[in-house]
Structure formats: structure tokens, C-alpha cells
Structure 1
Amino acid sequence: MIIILPSFGFICFQTTSLTLGLTLACLIIIVINVANFKCKMSLILFILALLSITISYGLISFFKFGYTKSILSVIPLTLMVLSAYLMSVEMNKIGFASTKFIFLTIFNILLIFGWLSIFYRFPYCNYHLLVKPVFPFSEPSHFALALNIFILPIVLISGFKTSLYVLFNSFLLSLLLPSLTLLFSSALAFLFFVRKYLSTGQTFLSLPLIFYILSLLLFNIPHYKERISPLFDLINIYDVDNTFNLSAIVYLQGWEFILLNMNKNYGLGLGFQMLGSSETELGYYSYILEKISLKIPNLENGSFIASKLISEFGIIGLLLTVYYIIWFIKFFLFLEKNPKILLYKGIIAGFVIDLFIRGLGYFNPQVFFFLLAIFVLYLSKRIKFLV
């Protein structure tokens, strides 16, 4: 439900984002589980601190610029945090075998959607209006981000054969859909797959070969090459005689947002949900995009979550991003032995794709599962800074 409803509502009811469908799914989860609600004081303080920061940013945005989106966004944020916690309580109760079964089942269902979309196009509920839908998602990258939630955790906790099954299907779909986001997600899972079976030293020795294979795919398959090449040859982007690739320029725009907006308001950033407002400072890539497509795509999402987070929260967003990078490196070097903990840390590690490659803002299933994983680890006494 939390995976499908936001995208289905987004397309079927032609909403402006995934927020409405996600909010509805969160409300359903809360109604079902609210009777079992119990929460420790330390977690209550953490949630209150999170909401206090966002509300403070929202109030500043409202009184300084008359911008109401920040304040209104606190409602879906609160519902998402609360529903993620309630689901984490239930997930923490069930055994590892059941959890693994649930994850594999969801992965296989998503896999069926992916394979069916190659041979069959869903003709109803506005899906026929889309260029490359992957039912129930609007495009391959949205499907890839949903599948990404499960790829790395399953590879980390599964045996050799199951891991190969997951990697083979995700790699093959990334080529057939095609989806660059899914290719990076599959490559990340393969990197951890190698790390699982090799020592740290052996893993680092194998990195050149892994990156070489990835580069062969990126620069020899046209769909990938036209998105990656402009990142390494910026002159081609500026040359109006060449073919523009919107995906590449949108991605570069995300990094440009960070440079231009992080220092707004004395290093506090633009403010919660303020990216895309009139206060957003636009740079060269934004004007190039507007010149090509007569609009600026992904203006509110920033292309990837780190762009939005740092642009809107300034130094705070930057520190959170750096903290995540340090955690990610430590997790990669010292893999968890407990399979249940490894699964949920795998969700957090897989979030690196949303953070730096392709993101859909704050209100989507990926962020929901990221929060769910944090809460399960908290309930398992495996997040020290919250205890």
C-alpha cells in the first residue's frame, strides 16, 4: 500500500506530487495501528525536535515571505513519521524469517510489474497519457527507486543463489526498461555482494574491475551514454548545436542549487519546502533548462534529496549529509552480523541512491522506509544516539 498508493494516486488523480497518496496511506496505517501506540520519552523528544525544526523554518517562511507550503507540509511530515513508527513497532515484533519473506514477496511483486511493463502498457486511469509508465509508477526511475528499497537489504541477508537472482533481474531490467537509476542501484547492491564474500582488502582490490565493468555499460549503451557523457563534457551541454540531455542538466542543476542556496539566511538555507519558491536562486543550468523546455523541471525536488536538504536547511542539511556519508562508509567496511539488523541498515544504506542520484522530495515511500528502518533499529537498541 505504502509503495503503490502514492504513485497510483499521483497518476490516476493527476496530483502535483506523491504527497496526497502517501498521506492517505499513512492515515490508513495510523488508524489500523493507533490502538497499540506506545512510545519512549527519548523517541518522543527526537520526533518533537524534528517537528520543531521544520515548524520553525515554516514560520519563518510564512512571516517573512508569506509562503504557506512550509507550514502545511508539517501535516504530511507528522503523519509519515508517526505511521513509520507504528509500522516499525509491528515489524520489530515479527521474526527475521517472516520479515525476509515479506521483503522478498514485495520485491517479486514489483519485479512482475517491471517485466510486464516491457510487454504490456496499462491503458486505464491516465497511464495511456504517459511516455514510459511502469504500472503503477509514472516512469522507470520511479519504479527503480521503489525497487531500490528492497534490492540491497535482500542481497545482504540472502544466500548466494537468491542474491544472484535479485542482481540478475535488477541489472537486466535496468537495461531493458531502461533505467540509469536502477543500474546504479544494482551496481551498489553488487558492490555490497562482493563485500559480503570478500575481505575489506580484497573488496578494494576488486573495485577497479567493478568500476571498469560499470563504465563499459555507461559509455557503450546509448540510453546511459547520453545521460552520463554531458557530466564529463560540459562544453557539449552549452553548445546549442548539440543535442541536449535534460536528465544530465537537471542533475547538474541539483548541485548548482546547493552552491547557490545553502548560504541563504545566514547559512540556514532557504527553509523547509522553500526550494522552487521565488526565493530560490537560479543558476546557469536552470536558465538552460528553461530555454530548452520552456520550464524548469524538478525545481521543487532538486533532482536528488541531498540537493533539496542542503538547499533548504543550509549547514544543518550539510552536516546531516556528511554524517550519513561517514555512517555509510563505516557500514560498508564493517558489515553487521545480525541478519535482522543488517536488513534494516541495508535500507538506510540503499537510501544513498535517493540522496545523491535520484530523489522525489521528502514525501515518498523511500523516505518512509528510511524512517521505518531507523525506528526499528531504535527499538532494537541499535541506534545509540537516540537511546
Structure 2
Amino acid sequence: MTTSLLVLLLLPSILMVTLSLPSLAIGLVISSAIIIIIKLIKGQMIKITKIYFLFSFIAFLWIFVNPISIENLVHAKQVLSLLAIVLCGFALTSIFNYKQEHIKRTVGLLFLVLLVIGFIGVFEILKPGSYQTLNRPLPPFSEPSHFAINFIPIACFFAFLSSNKLRILTCLACSVLALFLPNLTLMVGVLLISLIVLKARQFVMVTVIIIGLIALIVLFMPSYMDYFINRVIPSDDYNLSYLVYIQGWEQAISALQFSSGFGVGFQNFGIEPPGQASHLIDDIFGFQINRTDGGFLASKFIGEFGIVGIALVGYTSILSIRAGLLLRKHLDREILLPSNIISLCYTYIFLLELFIRSISYFSITFLITLLVIPKTINILKKTSSLNKI
């Protein structure tokens, strides 16, 4: 399980950068195919959960039923995207092992590997081959945000099952990493983890330490915090990341209006009229960016699936919050099994991909979340039933 998950976490990014691929999709298909072929050679059974077929069925309907989608149909892109999701579904379902000790050992190892990768990225020790052409790579990931999306749910699980002291150290280490990379997505992710794994006094202590560290950084490098400030507070000196985020919301609204609430159809995001942020990006930077993925999943869901997308975002948001509240409630109680905790952690941290930053549908974190959501729903139902007794 550990090796297979590392392949799915790292290989798609490596292939995308080294082969100059347009997205992670091709690398994800290759990685999934390798895992499936190895399993078949070993005589092991491959399987898939129904959730992947359900998502693919809804996407398929929105390709051929939605009038806007039919007018702007690009067969190859949509069909290949669906095949990629289903293929990865087979790979993930086949390798995901819910044995309790196996989960703890696997996630603990993945956490340490990714933490080391993160701190190597801080010092920019490794920039092999094509990575040298990228603006801010974090090999094997193409950028720090892609690293953060994969790292945070694993860090959440690790911190939840750790002792009080190790939780504090984990949150501090991840916060330091977020400050020195620097990366806002990672910082928001660490905040989400801290809200459920730290007690009030611990949270205050960690916050004071981080504020003190920020003060020291600003004292010696006054312009250092500009990275975070420019991404949160609008200014005349337009920041590309800030504009891309605003563009995502503008696109969602534009797509709703353009499609009369139906959405523009699966993998058709970007055909709707551009908004003010898109024009500013084009005027200032001379290119278009993130028009097809919206920058975060809520934008893409709403833009492509319309009113159904709004319902999907609303439902998954409530599910994520409930998962986080349940984790917080059972901290230190040793009631939840590791298999339940991993499902709840991925569902809770899905808020990060929904509203902050995503890699479209071909994020391994999104696809794992898709895998564990049915289990999370069952956990929440059982918990609700027990509370009523």
C-alpha cells in the first residue's frame, strides 16, 4: 500500500514536469495502469467502489444532456477524463487497505517522506532537469500548493493519532514549513489541522510561537510577509494568485449566467465569457491561466454542473465540517478506528480543495476523498444514531 500510494502521489507530477505534459491526468493514468498491471501479474483482484461510477455517470449526463455542453462538445477530452477517473478508481480501491495497524504505519511513513520533501524544497537543494524552468518548484511537485494539497490530509491523520506533545511539534513543524516555503495553501491547511487536534491552551501557545517567529522574520526581512499579504488583501500592485482566485468566483457566476443555471458541462469550464479578473490577468501578465480549472473545486463544480454543482458544494461542505467536528469531539477518546479517522481526515481537509486551491479532478487527494466519502457518511450516520439512543 505504501509504495503504491507513493507512486500515485509523486509519479504524476514527475511525469508532468519532465515530459512537459499539459496536466496531471496522463501521469495519473500511467501510474494507475502500472499499479493495476502489477496486481494482475501477482494474481490479485482489482476492484472499484460505486462512487467513481456515480461521479462518472453524473459527468456523462452533463456532457450529453446539457444543451450548452452539446454545443461545445469536445469528445476526446471528456471521455479520456472519465476513463482516467475510473482507472484511478480501480487502482485506489484495490490498494486501499483498511487494516488498522497497516493504515497507521503507512500514513506515518508518508508523513515523514513528504515532510522531508517539503524542507528540502525550502532550501532548494534539488532542482533536476525540467524543474529548473519552473517558477517555484518543489520537486517532485511542480509547485508548493500541489505539495500542500497532498500533504495536509496525511499530516492531519498523523497529528490526530499522536501524543499531545507530538501534535504540538507537528503543527509547529508544518507552520514553519508554510512560512519558509512560503505557501498560503499550506498555512490554511495547518490552521484546519490545528483547529481539531490542539486543545485551546495548545492552540494559543502554537499561535504565540508562530507570531513570534513571524516578528523575527519581518525584523530581518521586512518584505518577507508581502507574499501572504498580497494574496489576502487587494492592492494596486496586482498579485497573480489573488487575481486567479477572484477569477475562479467570477467564472462560476459567468458560467451560471451563460448556461441559464445548467452549467457549461463536464470539462468545458472556460468557454463562458471571461470576467474582469481574467481581463486584468491578460492585460497585466499577457497570458490566461487556470481558465479551465477555476483554481479551486467549488468554482469548477458550480461552473460545470450549475445548480447541481451548487448543491454538491453545499452538501460536501456540510459533510466536511461535520467530519471535522466529529474528529474534534473524539480527540484522545480512542473510540474511532484508524480506518475511520483516515476517512474523516480526508473528508474534512477537502475544504482546502473546495475553497482554497485544487488541481482539478486529477488530484490524487480529491480521488481518495471520493473513495472515502461513503465511509464517512456511514460513520456520521452511526454516530448520529448512537447520540439519539
Fold match by TM threshold 0.5: yes
Trace 1:1-387 onto structure 2 (pairs within 5 A): 1-33=7-39, 35-37=44-46, 44=50, 46-59=51-64, 63-68=70-75, 69-88=77-96, 91-92=97-98, 94=99, 96-194=100-198, 197=199, 222=223, 224-229=225-230, 231-233=232-234, 236=235, 242-276=236-270, 279-335=271-327, 336=330, 337-340=335-338, 341-374=340-373, 377=376, 382=379
Deviation at 1:254, TM superposition (A): 1.0
Asked whether the 8 Å contact 1:156–1:343 carries over to 2, the reply is no
Asked whether the 8 Å contact 2:25–2:81 carries over to 1, the reply is no
Higher relative contact order (CA 8 A, sep 6+): 1
SS at match of 2:238: coil
Q: CA RMSD in A?
A: 3.1
The answer for unaligned runs of 5 or more in structure 2 is: 1-6, 383-389
CA, structure 1 residues 170+65, in 2 after alignment: closer, same or farther (shift >3 Å)? Answer: same
1:134-190 Cα distance to aligned partner (Å, 9 max, x none): 110112222222211312122222221332232122111111111111111111111
Judge which range, 257-266 or 358-367, deviates more.
Answer: 257-266
Asked whether the 8 Å contact 1:264–1:314 carries over to 2, the reply is no
SS at match of 1:382: helix
Deviation at 1:339, TM superposition (A): 3.3
1:19-41 Cα distance to aligned partner (Å, 9 max, x none): 111111111232344542456xx
1:268-303 Cα distance to aligned partner (Å, 9 max, x none): 201101112xx2221001000001111121111111
Deviation at 1:313, TM superposition (A): 0.7
Deviation at 1:48, TM superposition (A): 3.6
1:116-150 Cα distance to aligned partner (Å, 9 max, x none): 22334324331121232211011222222221131
CA, structure 1 residues 65+333, in 2 after alignment: closer, same or farther (shift >3 Å)? Answer: closer
Deviation at 1:263, TM superposition (A): 4.1
Distance in 2 (CA, whole Å) between partners of 1:11 and 1:97 is 35
Distance in 2 (CA, whole Å) between partners of 1:28 and 1:250 is 35
Deviation at 1:343, TM superposition (A): 2.4
Asked whether the 8 Å contact 2:278–2:288 carries over to 1, the reply is yes
1:168-219 Cα distance to aligned partner (Å, 9 max, x none): 221111111111111111111111123xx46xxx99xx89x969x78x9699
1:323-375 Cα distance to aligned partner (Å, 9 max, x none): 12222332333335313212221111112111111111001221122123236
Which TM-score applies when normalising by structure 2?
0.82
Which TM-score applies when normalising by structure 1?
0.83
Asked whether the 8 Å contact 1:8–1:136 carries over to 2, the reply is yes
The answer for unaligned runs of 5 or more in structure 1 is: 237-241
Distance in 2 (CA, whole Å) between partners of 1:359 and 1:107 is 20
Letter in 1 for 2:379: R
CA, structure 1 residues 371+49, in 2 after alignment: closer, same or farther (shift >3 Å)? Answer: closer
Asked whether the 8 Å contact 1:122–1:128 carries over to 2, the reply is no
Deviation at 1:84, TM superposition (A): 2.3
Number of corresponding residues: 358
